[in-house]
Amino acid sequence: MAKLENPTAEVPAVAEPVPDRQLTFSDQVYTSRTLIIPENGRTLSVAKGVVQVLSSDTQAVSFLRANPEFQPLRE
């Protein structure tokens, strides 16, 4: 019969997934417009001078951070 190497060792807890955060960017030029992400043709809507994307949407976040017309807002 096989013996456990360390029978008193704790089993590591499974980390719960981190929920997506909503990131908000301020449009410094327009209060309303539709943005098109060049890599995939997806659109983002600017309303009341802001656009919101999920933190897991790496293409949209990269697109907004690379454009000087958008500034991230602190929440």
pLDDT tens column, 8-59:
666 666 666 667 899 999 999 999 999 999 989 999 999 999 999 999 999 9
**Tokens 């013996």 label which residue?**
3
pLDDT of residue 20: 85
Question: Which pLDDT score, from 0 to 100, does residue 8 have?
Answer: 62
**What pLDDT, on the 0 to 100 scale, is given for residue 74?**
81
Report if residue 30 sits inside a domain: yes
- Can you read off the two tokens belonging to residue 7? 């029978």
Domain assignment present for 4: no
Using a cut of 0.95, tell me whether the model's pTM lies above it: no
Q: Is residue 33 part of a domain?
A: yes
pLDDT at 4: 62
Integer Cα distance of 20 and 57 in angstroms: 9
In a domain, 28, yes or no: yes
Per the structure, the complete domain to which residue 64 belongs is given by 22-72
DSSP codes joined into one string, 6-71 = -TTPPPPPPPPPPPPPEEEEEESS-SSEEEE-TTT--EEEEBTTEEEEETT-HHHHHHHHH-TTEE
